[in-house]
Amino acid sequence: MAQYQYHGSKRPKNTKKTLLHLLRYLGHHKWLFLLVGLLVCVSTGANLLGTYLLKPVINRFILPGDLKGLLAAVAGMGIMYLCGALASLAYSQLMIKSAQTVIQEIRRDLFVHVQRLPLRYFDAHTHGELMSRFTNDVDTVQEAMNNSFAMIIQTFLTLTGTVIMMMVLSLRLSMIVVVFLALMFAFIRFNGSRSRKYFQRQQAQLGRINGFVEEMMAGQKVEKVFNHEKKDFENFCVLNENLRRESTSALAYTGMQVPTVVSLSYFNYAVSACAGGLFALSGLMDLGGLASYLVYVRQSAMPLNQFTQQVNLLMTALAGAERIFDLMEAEPEVDEGDVTLCHVKEEDGKLVETAERTGHFAWRVPEAPGTPEVPEAPGTPEVPEAPGTPEVAEMLGTPAAAGSGTRLVPLKGDVRFDQVVFGYVPEKQVLNGISLYAKPGQKIAFVGSTGAGKTTIINLINRFYEIQSGTITYDGIDIRRIRKDDLRHSLAMVIQETHLFTGTIADNIRYGKLDATDEEVREAARIANADSFIRRLPDGYDTMLYSDGSNLSQGQRQLLAIARAAVARPPVLILDEATSSIDTRTERLIEKGMDAVMEGRTVFVIAHRLSTVRNSKAIMVLEHGEIIERGDHESLLEQKGRYYQLYTGQFELE
């Protein structure tokens, strides 16, 4: 059974650093938070001053029987309490507004940064772990900002002001309260440290049971197929019992805190009242001062309890903020490319850069002093040429001037690997000196066992990962010089694990080209042989998709992914097991449509179904990160090597 980890309810490792990072966000709205602090002071001051005014009201108006003066004093106190209430209402509303604005900015910056992270980061972190930053951690910070910021200021001012006012009224009596407050504080600290340990265990168990339930809900079909309900129920009962046990222990300690503090406060009040009565009888204290003092005594326990709880909540929020900021500080994807993509048109036999959407592209290559020249495409082992295939130089065309210090290289899709070495981790190489090339318009296929390096080659073309040595060139340009956004704009990719987004079918196809017209969307669907099943749906192209297109079959989802690539009409198309969930008849129809749209463009294909790669210009057979055979279908069969064994069924792809 999988073990699910939960990382909540812990204190930050570096409180100062996290607090400074959070204060930078608060600093964007410093005047608003300053106003909140000022209103909190007004509200707290009104409460403290109102209690102190009981002394003059009793001594000057009640005891002498001055009804007129009493009414005026009560009216004045009423106005003061009203101002405090209005200040309290105002700061609570301002705090909500400012807190939500700060949380919005944190979420925005977190999302932007996650989009800039390299794929290597996602390989090392689970989706659940990353999602917890957007949900659990952000919610914890939000809750603390909504409640704790103003509450900590208020309780601190109330507690400090109460102790000061009691000392003003009677320094000797205040010693009793100080002793009891110290006892309360010591108990709260002891009880908090014990309960925190059990709450951490409770949250860990809660994370495990939530993860287990989520996994079971997602895997209901598998669970029922293998009759695993009884075993899963037993596992759930174990997790549920662990959660009950840890929750009981945690709540047992927290349940002790309020009754104990209240009991100590009652005892404190009783002792203070008795001692204060004796002081009043002996003339050491007047009756009005005693009344005010005893109200302060009643108020002293509550802010201490609240302050401790809010500090604990703030520490938990800072722990969540630390995890958020740790993610924000993760090293983003490095992009030092200076070669960009631009629209071009032909004037007087030369390519000229234009702002118009011409459908023709070129690489804008800087040639400033000190900039390395664009290397020539490296030589590679020969691949059998089809009759009439133009030379690479002819396909690439003659670079055109783009202005001072730059030149234009037509975007054609000439991709070459020269002695490329790569490993996802330094100690294990996946590709060992791979050399290959694909001329514009060629269809290149990769076959081989699982783990041979087929998908890795595709990932390197997109620069999802950086190679250790060797070179990869695109139209004669080292791809490390091409800006990643521009590089990926020139490519389209269909992967085996089809991912569809929440939205209409048309929106999902248009994902490949955001400005595609409705007619372009339908044409792409016809090319992918998806138009017929889309039209049979009740809402056609306006059919909404949810949960990764769960209302469609796997084959239909893959057809939409192919249509999404087709609408982009890129110079290079990558198909990674793109037709694995489609029957052979539909696959042949799609191939015909794709052949039409990809005429003069480069296609890379990864497939286990060898019928898919028969018409490829060149087929690369990979094993253990090396190309062991290369050639077209007929020449590879004549070699009677690994490809021949695969095709005739003498060797299985594993």
Whether 106 and 184 map to the same domain: the answer is no
Pair 322, 188 in one domain: no
CA–CA separation, 410 and 332 (whole Å): 30
**Residues 193, 242 within the same domain:** yes
Domain-located, residue 233? yes
Token readout for 405 is: 């210090």
Question: At 575, which CATH number?
Answer: 3.40.50.300
Buried b (16+ CB within 10 A) or exposed e, 73-92: beeebeebeeebeebbebbb
Successive 10-residue mean pLDDT values, the chain, 654 residues: 41 75 86 89 88 84 84 88 90 88 92 88 76 83 83 85 86 85 81 71 76 77 77 90 85 75 81 86 84 83 75 77 88 87 85 82 78 45 37 39 72 90 86 88 85 87 90 92 90 82 90 89 89 91 84 84 86 81 74 69 81 82 88 88 79 48
Same domain, residue pair 487 and 576: yes
Are residues 194 and 157 part of one domain? Answer: no
State residue 539 phi and psi, 5-degree precision: -105, 10
- The size of the chain, in residues, is 654
pLDDT given at position 552: 86
- The answer to whether the beta carbons of residues 594 and 527 sit under 8 Å apart is yes
pTM of the model: 0.71
127 and 237 housed in the same domain: no
Q: Return the ∠ at Cα 39 (arms to 37 and 43), rounded to 5°.
A: 115
Q: Answer yes or no: do 532 and 547 share one domain.
A: yes
Q: Is 564 part of any domain?
A: yes
pLDDT of residue 473: 93
In a domain? residue 370: no
CA angle 196, 200, 206 (to 5 degrees): 135
Looking at the structure of the chain, the number of domains it has is 3
CA dist 584 and 568 (Å) reads: 25
Specify whether 564 is located in the same domain as 599. Answer: yes
* 368-372 contact pairs (CB < 8 A, 24+): 368/405, 371/338, 372/481
Q: Is 130 helix (H, G, I), strand (E, B) or coil?
A: helix
Within this chain, do residues 319 and 266 fall inside the same structural domain, yes or no?
Answer: no
Could you tell me the residue range of the domain that residue 570 belongs to? 469-647
| CA–CA separation, 474 and 107 (whole Å) | 37
In a domain? residue 92: yes
Rounded-to-integer distance, Cα 507 and Cα 567, Å: 12
Q: Are 613 and 538 part of one and the same domain?
A: yes
Whether residue 37 sits in one domain with residue 103: yes
Listed in order, strand segments (DSSP E) in 523-640 are 544-545, 572-576, 602-606, 618-623, 626-631
The per-type count for the chain, helices as H runs and strands as E runs, is: 21, 17
Q: Is residue 312 part of a domain?
A: yes
In the block, residue with structure tokens 């993860």: 211
Residue 350 lies in a domain: no
Provide DSSP, 460-486. Answer: HHTTSS--SEEEEEETTEEGGGB-HHH
Write the CATH number for 52: 1.20.1560.10
In this structure, is residue 348 part of a structural domain? no
Q: What are phi and psi of 316, to 5 degrees?
A: -65, -40
- Note whether 606 and 592 are same-domain residues: yes
Identify whether 274 is part of a domain.
yes
> Cβ-count burial of 425 within 10 angstroms (0-12 exposed, 13-18 middle, 19+ buried)?
exposed
- From 251, 284, 317, the end of a domain falls on 284
